[in-house]
Amino acid sequence: MSTKAPSIKDIAKIANVSITTVSFIINGKAVEKNISTAVIKRVEEIILAQGYQPNQIARSLRTGNSKIIALMVEDISNPFFAGIARLIEEKAYKKGYKIIYSSTESDAVRTNELIQLFRSRQVDAYIISPVQGTEKIIKELIDEGKPVVLFDRHLPTISANYVGVDHFKASYDAIAGFIAMNLQNIALVTVDLDVEQITDRHAGYQQALADHHITYNESLVLKVPFKQPRNETINQLVELFKVNETIDAVLFATNYLAISGLSALRSMNKLVNDSFKVIAYDDGDVFKLHSPQISAVEQPLEEIADNIIKLIFQQLASTTEITPEKIILPAKLIIR
């Protein structure tokens, strides 16, 4: 049983100075506060020798901040979010911040609970891919002066920093691409969530059809229930492709739907080729290594992460309120 970690008090006692003095030294205020170099040196040596680390909890209690940033996404095991998480973690770490993350499952109640929890932990800043029904509490965070950056999804009624991707355009371009290849019976497989980045993809699909004088056909749009197990989704997709034999192109609105889609096609022995094209949302190894390779809409992970971090630290640094920025990045259509 090792001895407990030393506290600032222990250091002060050993150095025969006051706690205050030690605190000034730890926080680099020694010179400004007229502590003699001799004392500084002595204390620093003792700190090193004792392996003293200031207790962050006590610090947080006193200062009101925690050096923790919360990251809230739908599902951390989704490669898109896991990738973002990794990049953000990396950048935050360099500035002395830790990330505490949570999967919201796109559930407003759960998200509310989580934010309450983070709040009671004095979390310094929030990076959120939000769901509808969380507007109130997010507004409260902003009012409290906490830095908040929304990403991926956007809450129209909230004026907050936002980093997103132009899904309408990405989806529009994908469909326009299909049409240019002379494909006419284009299906959209999407999810039944009422969140902006999903509805935008739908809207882009519709607009592209309209602009090219193709009638919108409701039966070619499949809205998969969000929490449905994968097997059932695959069955639904098989059904869709069987019933609508004329389908010659499909846009999948999320990466996991595309994966279900490819599974469905495989089970039907239906090939992806020039008379049956597929575009997936969010690129990934699955699509690159598929035979034939699958075209995809690629979101710029690194840029998204960069901008999020930039906005967070911008807010963390400034005391005055800053007018929220909305950064919309272009997605990249990768035709394979």
Q: Residues in the site for DNA, rule: CB under 7 A?
A: 4, 7-9, 16-21, 23-24, 26-27, 33-36, 38-39, 52-55, 58-59, 61-63
In whole angstroms, what is the distance from residue 167 CA to residue 329 CA?
9
Residue 206 touches which of DNA, a second copy, none (Cβ within 5-8 Å per kind): none
Residue 49 CB, nearest approach to DNA (Å): 15
Residue type, 283: D
The tokens for 95 are 């500035």
Q: Does 93 bind a second copy (CB under 8 A)?
A: yes
Looking at the Cβ atoms of 177 and 261, the one nearer to a second copy is 261
C-alpha distances out from residue 319 to 30, 112, 117, Å:
25, 26, 24
Looking at the Cβ atoms of 95 and 212, the one nearer to DNA is 95
Number of residues engaging a second copy in binding (CB under 8 A):
52
Q: Does 245 bind a second copy (CB under 8 A)?
A: no
Q: Does 269 bind a second copy (CB under 8 A)?
A: no
Part in contact with a second copy (CB under 8 A); list of ranges 15-23, 37-45, 155-163, 287-295: 287-295
Q: Does 68 bind a second copy (CB under 8 A)?
A: yes
Contact track, a second copy, 291-310, x by CB under 8 A: x-------------------
Looking at the Cβ atoms of 29 and 270, the one nearer to DNA is 29
Looking at the Cβ atoms of 55 and 182, the one nearer to DNA is 55
Nearest to 83, CA basis, from 73, 94, 93, 70? 73
Looking at the Cβ atoms of 6 and 79, the one nearer to DNA is 6
Residue 230 CB, nearest approach to DNA (Å): 43
Q: Coil, strand, or helix at residue 16? A: coil
* Beta-bridge partners for 278: 250
The tokens for 333 are 């259509």
Pairing of strands 68-73, 125-128: parallel
Q: Tokens 């908040």 appear where?
A: 148
Q: Does 39 bind a second copy (CB under 8 A)?
A: no
Count of Cβ atoms closer than 10 Å to residue 49 Cβ: 11
Task: Pick from 32, 48, 94, 143 the residue near a second copy by CB under 8 A.
Answer: 143
* Beta-bridge partners for 98: 68
Task: Pick from 100, 214, 221, 238 the residue near a second copy by CB under 8 A.
Answer: 100
In whole angstroms, what is the distance from residue 71 CA to residue 98 CA?
10
Q: Are 15 and 63 in contact (CB under 8 A)?
A: no
The string of DSSP codes covering 216-270 is --GGGEEEE-TT--HHHHHHHHHHHHHH-TT--EEEESSHHHHHHHHHHHHHHTP
Residue 60 CB, nearest approach to a second copy (Å): 5
Point out which residues bind a second copy (CB under 8 A): 1-2, 4-5, 53-58, 60-61, 66, 68, 75-77, 79, 82-83, 85-86, 89-90, 93, 98-103, 116-117, 119-122, 140, 143-145, 259, 262-263, 266, 284-286, 288-291
